Amino acid sequence: MVYDLFSTAFKADPFATFARMRQDDPIYAHHAPNGSTIWYVTRYEDVVAMLRDNVHFVKDIRHALPPEQLNPARRTNTHQLINENMLFADPPDHTRLRGLVNQAFTPRRIENLRPRLQQFAHTLLDRVTPFGQMDLIADYALPLPVAMIADLLGIPEGDREQVAEWSQAIISPGSRGHSYKVRKQKIKGLLAYLSALFKERELRPRDDLITALVQAESSGDRLSETELSSMVALLIVTGHETTVNLIGNGAFALIQNPEQLALLQENPTLWGPAVEELLRYDGPVETSTTRWVGQTVVYKGHTMQRGDVVRLVFSSANRDTAAFPYPDHLDIGRSENKHLAFGLGIHYCLGAPLARLEGEIALHTLFSRFPHLQLLTNPNRLTWRSGVLFRGLNHLYLRL
Ligand code: HEM
């Protein structure tokens, strides 16, 4: 059986395909035209097992391929900026990087964002109110997390437009639209800017994440400038690509399930569990980032060769009947909800507390101000972002 995991039709309803895969091909080998093998793993139990196995399934390509097979582009600034961070590292590098960043990414720092987040949610909704309608994605779901990441990092207001312009080079799908030369120039601009900002914060510390990252130290060890830039790039990317989909997919799911929305409107204390259920039901990250088979392994009868790519399909595992009763039902009262929307194990999402706070405030504020939101597009005609990594709407036009 061949599964088409890239077509527009698949993206409109991936869950039917994932259900077939879980049933018939839970560990499915896709043979790419370049000869490489990509394994798609769709059952909850297998996804969990592989997320916990950091010996056979690794994140750093150097632990899976011999040096002669590594792409020479690895040494470029662009590659380093995007890849030299904890998400693409294995222990002990991962342990060191995450430990240093954890010092800066404190619960207090996240909680301090709450009033600003609440206020900005209202500002964005005030802007669209006179029009009686909006594109939820462009007008609300995207600007909110983007502004929060800039606030958290401490990027001065006056620089944000320029930083956003340079950041296009590292954020999809904009990055694909740029020529190599333009992309290189933008990355150079971003790197030079960040380098100056790191120096500035070292000399004149402030209460922001960049200062905390610059100062983070453990046993005399600090983050190098490349590691600092790559960490900031990772935060810029996650700030643009993930929470936007929690707000977009979440609002869409609640509009489609008015009886669940009514429960929330009667009892706002349910917003916390509701966000967890929305993450499970239609979460922002469809598959894991790339894992590599680090040592050839026979898993449930499948020989996974060293160097093969593995993608763990979170959106499928979260709909597995073996883990969740009636998984295709949105049920904000679900009692045990061990969803995998934030992954699991050592790479469990660092930003989960921030994403939860953003999702809850954004959705609660939206539906409190506009309790009768209506879709302006037939749900079957909505378009979803391409690619297997993220799950999110391109637009969601709503009547307020
Ligand atoms: C609802 C929004 C979000 C979702 C669903 C999400 C999901 C995930 C997932 C599934 C992973 C693990 C990927 C893997 O194992 O392949 C991850 C890792 C990560 N996320 Fe998030 N994320 C979200 C928001 C954020 C935000 C807002 C930030 C930063 C402020 C962030 C920062 C990170 C970082 C740094 C990692 C790498 C952790 C590591 O490798 O140890 N995420 N995220």
Q: What is the pLDDT of residues 12-21, one digit of tens each?
A: 899 999 999 9
Q: Is 311 in the pocket of ligand 1 (CB under 6 A)?
A: no
Q: Is 342 in the pocket of ligand 1 (CB under 6 A)?
A: yes
User: pLDDT confidence of 379, banded at 50, 70, 90?
Assistant: very high
Cβ-count burial of 259 within 10 angstroms (0-12 exposed, 13-18 middle, 19+ buried)? exposed
- pLDDT (tens digit per residue) in 175-212: 555 677 888 888 888 999 999 999 999 999 999 999 99
Q: Is 242 in the pocket of ligand 1 (CB under 6 A)?
A: yes
C-alpha span between 260 and 258 (Å, rounded)? 5
55, containing H or E segment = none
Tokens (6 digits) for 315: 């959106």
Q: Is 350 in the pocket of ligand 1 (CB under 6 A)?
A: yes
Q: Is 190 in the pocket of ligand 1 (CB under 6 A)?
A: no
Q: Is 351 in the pocket of ligand 1 (CB under 6 A)?
A: yes
In this structure, are residues 101 and 350 in contact, taking their beta carbons and an 8 Å threshold?
Answer: yes
pLDDT given at position 86: 93
pLDDT given at position 388: 87
Segment 50-61 mean pLDDT: 96
Distance 342 CA to ligand 1 centre (A): 6
C-alpha span between 359 and 350 (Å, rounded)? 15
Q: 58: which strand partners?
A: 292
User: pLDDT confidence of 74, banded at 50, 70, 90?
Assistant: low
* Domain definitions of the chain by residue range: 8-399
Q: Is 97 in the pocket of ligand 1 (CB under 6 A)?
A: no
Q: Is 85 in the pocket of ligand 1 (CB under 6 A)?
A: no
Name which residue leads in pLDDT, 144 or 171: 144
Q: Is 343 in the pocket of ligand 1 (CB under 6 A)?
A: yes
Range 8-399 has CATH code 1.10.357.10: no
Tokens (6 digits) for 11: 């993206």
For residue 292, which of 305, 282, 301, 281 has the smallest C-alpha distance? Answer: 305
The protein residue with its alpha carbon nearest to ligand 1, atom 39, reads: 347
Alpha carbon separation from 208 to 28, 205, 214 (Å, rounded): 44, 8, 10
Given the CA of residue 59, which atom of ligand 1 is nearest to it?
A: 16
Mean pLDDT score of the chain, rounded to an integer?
Answer: 92
Q: Is 86 in the pocket of ligand 1 (CB under 6 A)?
A: yes
pLDDT given at position 177: 57
Q: Is 248 in the pocket of ligand 1 (CB under 6 A)?
A: no
Segment 233-244 mean pLDDT: 90
| Residue 22, pLDDT above cutoff 60 | yes
Count of residues for the chain?
Answer: 400
- pLDDT (tens digit per residue) in 106-119: 889 999 999 999 99
pLDDT given at position 173: 55
- The CB density around residue 284, as the number of other CB atoms within 10 Å, is 27
Q: Is 234 in the pocket of ligand 1 (CB under 6 A)?
A: yes
The protein residue with its alpha carbon nearest to ligand 1, atom 2, reads: 243
In this structure, are residues 368 and 104 in contact, taking their beta carbons and an 8 Å threshold?
Answer: no
The protein residue with its alpha carbon nearest to ligand 1, atom 1, reads: 243
pLDDT given at position 172: 64
| Residue 80, pLDDT above cutoff 90 | no
- pLDDT (tens digit per residue) in 337-377: 999 999 999 999 999 999 999 999 999 999 999 999 999 99
C-alpha span between 152 and 209 (Å, rounded)? 6
User: pLDDT confidence of 6, banded at 50, 70, 90?
Assistant: confident
pLDDT given at position 176: 53
Distance 348 CA to ligand 1 centre (A): 7
Give the predicted TM-score (pTM) of the model: 0.95
pLDDT given at position 164: 83
Q: Is 363 in the pocket of ligand 1 (CB under 6 A)?
A: no
Distance 159 CA to ligand 1 centre (A): 25
Q: Is 144 in the pocket of ligand 1 (CB under 6 A)?
A: no
Tokens (6 digits) for 256: 């489609």
| Residue 282, pLDDT above cutoff 60 | yes
187, containing H or E segment = helix 180-203
Tokens (6 digits) for 50: 């592989």
Helix and strand counts by DSSP (H, E) for the chain: 19, 10
User: pLDDT confidence of 244, banded at 50, 70, 90?
Assistant: very high
The protein residue with its alpha carbon nearest to ligand 1, atom 6, reads: 342
The protein residue with its alpha carbon nearest to ligand 1, atom 21, reads: 349
Lowest mean pLDDT among 61-70, 77-86, 225-234: 77-86
Task: Give the list of residues 6+ apart from residue 11 with CB closer than 8 angstroms, or none.
Answer: 383, 384, 385, 386
Q: Is 392 in the pocket of ligand 1 (CB under 6 A)?
A: no
Distance 243 CA to ligand 1 centre (A): 10
Segment 228-236 mean pLDDT: 91
In the chain, the percentage of residues whose pLDDT exceeds 70 is: 97
Tokens (6 digits) for 295: 């040592």
The protein residue with its alpha carbon nearest to ligand 1, atom 7, reads: 342
In the chain, the percentage of residues whose pLDDT exceeds 90 is: 75
- pLDDT (tens digit per residue) in 146-174: 999 999 999 999 998 888 888 877 876 55
Given the CA of residue 88, which atom of ligand 1 is nearest to it?
A: 40
For residue 163, which of 191, 140, 198, 204 has the smallest C-alpha distance? Answer: 191
Q: Is 287 in the pocket of ligand 1 (CB under 6 A)?
A: no
pLDDT given at position 4: 84
**One-letter amino acid of 212:** A
